[in-house]
Amino acid sequence: MTVHEPVVPTDPAGGRPVVPSRSRLRPLGLGEIELGPGFWSTLQETNAAATLDHCEYWMEREGWLANFDRVAGGTTGRDRPGWCFSDSEVYKLLEALAWEYGRSGRGEVDDAVRRLTARVGRAQDADGYLNTCYGHAGQEPRYSDLETGHELYCTGHLLQAAVARLRTTGPDALVDIARRAADHVCATFGADGAPGLCGHPEIEVGLVELGRALGEERYVEQARIFLDRRGHRTLRQDRVPLGSAYFQDDVPIRRARAWRGHAVRALYLTAAAVDVAVECADRELLAAVEGQWEHTVARRTHVTGGMGSRHQDEGFGEDWELPADRAYCETCAGIASVMVSWRLYLATGDMRYADLVERTFFNVVATSPSADGRAFFYANPLHQRVAGEEARADALSPRAESGMRAPWFDVSCCPTNLARTLATWHTYAAVAEEHGLAVLQYAPARIRAELGDGRVMGVAVETGYPRGGAVLVRVTEAPAGAAALRLRVPAWAAGAELEEGGRRRPVRPGAVVVEREFAVGDQIRLFLPMGPRFTWPDPRIDAVRGCVAVERGPLVYCAEAVGQPDGTDLDEVRVDPSVPPDDRDGRVVVRGLAGTVRATAGAWPYGERAGRAQQDEGSDVELVLTPYHQWAERGPTAMRVWLPTTLGHG
């Protein structure tokens, strides 16, 4: 064990993943908001208690950590285990540990950061290059495969880890390593360097944030250079079997109409584009990204907020191509979507972005980890036709086909990505405005922050959300003079009400602002309607035509085959949309018909209407639904989010 001086978080306002140097809204630091017991604190504690160790265990076991030791010891070579991007998992774990130490201050978490940092640092070459897969004896040369080699991608995650350290404990060995790596990137790929580009965006977002955190404009400039290089079919055509759109190298980001290609790539790139747009006051670029968000959210996004419709390239489909059964909705794409929407919210204050952040947090991010934090969904389909198989506890799982959460994957990007995201969840819950606070995500919390005008404001939030819809905001520290308290009213919350000073009034989706002089003890209550509701799809979404989903508050629900009445075949259930879904002591129930399809075994499944298997029969059934984020927690099962209705024909 290393002996060291404990590093204590010194700047409570400094800790947060994104800190635009110019922005309408200031995100809160890790020390400015503390969660109380509830939905998200449970996930954070599980992350701290189980997931972080779990990730380190598997990376040690698979040799991904030892890859750094082997480079340091000069013993690496062609037999190096792991994919070329496995270094990035170590960096994401480092980032997660750094944020978690900032959140909890637990010494053993800091120990882990230092331990891993030391192993990583010894593998760095003298000129700053750091990668365990390329450039050493027996390996391919540095940057010999920019299309699929992921070297700059890995470096980007190293920079993000260093940013977490900088913003929680200040400069340390990890920051030094990252700075040398970033300098090497700028020297190699700068305006006067090689005109290269990484097949997987990530270096860009790492460079901007490290630039912000260190005040190094060179790094921001390098990110801008990478962004501008992309979209001109810069990557080698003979190495891109899935086409240039897969890499977002088909159209410059300023000219693209929608997100396309590999979803995580598209979204990491876009997050960096917002950062660069904000840093460079580039309104054209920001407007382009906002247009892409609108188009993609309206036409290429699943009801869970999940993005990515295709398994083949883990990518977006065309407009309206949103198959429930083959929805890919990669966990990492959900996290990347939060990264984009959060940056757009900070840049614009538009609550639509915070709405999508909430939807994605509850229905993609929270869906991936098991309750014990030691197994994960890589993909998050909205329809499982056949019950999956339990993943093996002691082996790597294929990434997207099992239908069950798995402990580790051949490509294992989601566990560490979840870990770093969950450790900072509370920093997405509220922001400081010029003259007040805005509360965006509802969870029990204590908030105390400096406003843009220098005054300090504190509130306590009490709520059982998302179980219940009542949110009490109590002022715990009142600034002198008028201030604003802005509460997000989710887009789904038609019928919401606000109670203030004994008066209760309806409020519209978007946000409600109470602007006045506050006193300690002042209370504002927001009531969000939490009855379950049917949700209908746009009629152009072919895959779910004639179906409804059920939502309750921010949660999407699903029907699992397990736990339904005996013999209920989810393929043959038809829900009656004229009977609203019911909430029975917290259990959401829908009514309909079961066994609606006459047996047609052996028959050609297409023909005259009269001769078709019809949904004209069937027996009454009540389905008990499950919050989608909990599906498959009771074991392998078939599952549907979208439920065909009795209105359908054919």
Burial state string for 404-430 with b = 16 or more CB within 10 A and e = fewer than 16 = bbbbbbebbbbbbbbbbbbbbbbbbbb
Name the residue among 235, 226, 280 with its Cα closest to residue 253. Answer: 226
Per-residue binding string, a copy of itself, 518-537, x by CB under 8 A, is ---------------xxxxx
Of residues 317 and 436, the one with the C-beta less far from a copy of itself: 317
Decide: is 70 part of the binding site for a copy of itself (CB under 8 A).
Answer: no
Query: For residue 379, which of 420, 349, 413, 339 has the smallest C-alpha distance?
Result: 413
**Near a copy of itself by CB under 8 A, which window of 29-37, 153-161, 414-422, 610-618?**
610-618
Residue choice 98, 186, 198, 541 for contact with a copy of itself (CB under 8 A): 541
SS3 state of residue 41: helix
DSSP 165-216: HHHHT-S-HHHHHHHHHHHHHHHHHSTTS-----SS--HHHHHHHHHHHHT-
The answer to whether 301 contacts a copy of itself (rule: CB under 8 A) is yes
Q: Segment contacting a copy of itself (CB under 8 A): 201-209, 426-434, 539-547, 582-590? A: 539-547
Query: By rule CB under 8 A, what count of residues binds a copy of itself?
Result: 74
From residue 406, alpha-carbon distances to 80, 145, 392 in Å are 24, 31, 7
Give whichever of 87 and 572 is closer to a copy of itself, judged by the CB atom. Answer: 572
Q: What residues from 211 to 270 belong to the interface with a copy of itself (CB under 8 A)?
A: 241, 243
Smallest separation (angstroms) from a copy of itself to the CB of 150: 18
| One residue of 311, 435, 446, 591 binding a copy of itself per CB under 8 A | 311
Binding to a copy of itself, residues 79-138 (CB under 8 A) = none
Per-position b or e across 183-210, b if 16+ CB within 10 A of its CB: bbbbebbeeeeeebbbbbbbbbbbbbbb
555's tokens: 């949660």
**Binding positions for a copy of itself, 628-647, rule CB under 8 A:** 642, 644-645, 647
Distance CA 197, CA 189 (A): 8
CB of residue 239 to a copy of itself, shortest distance in Å? 13
Q: Which of 22, 71, 518, 448 is nearest to 277 (CA)?
A: 22
Task: Pick the stretch among 98-106, 291-299, 343-351, 369-377 that binds a copy of itself (CB under 8 A).
Answer: 291-299
C-beta of 18 vs 559, nearer to a copy of itself:
559
Interacting span for a copy of itself (CB under 8 A) from 170-178, 192-200, 209-217, 571-579: 571-579
Q: Which are the contacts of 562, defined by CB distance < 8 A and separation ≥ 6?
A: 634, 635, 637
| Site residues (CB under 8 A) for a copy of itself, limited to 326-365 | 326, 355
Binding string to a copy of itself for residues 437 to 476, with x set by CB under 8 A, is what? Answer: ----------------------------------------
Q: Which residues pair with 513 in a beta bridge?
A: 486
Tokens of 459: 């509130």
| Contact call for residue 148 and a copy of itself (CB under 8 A) | no
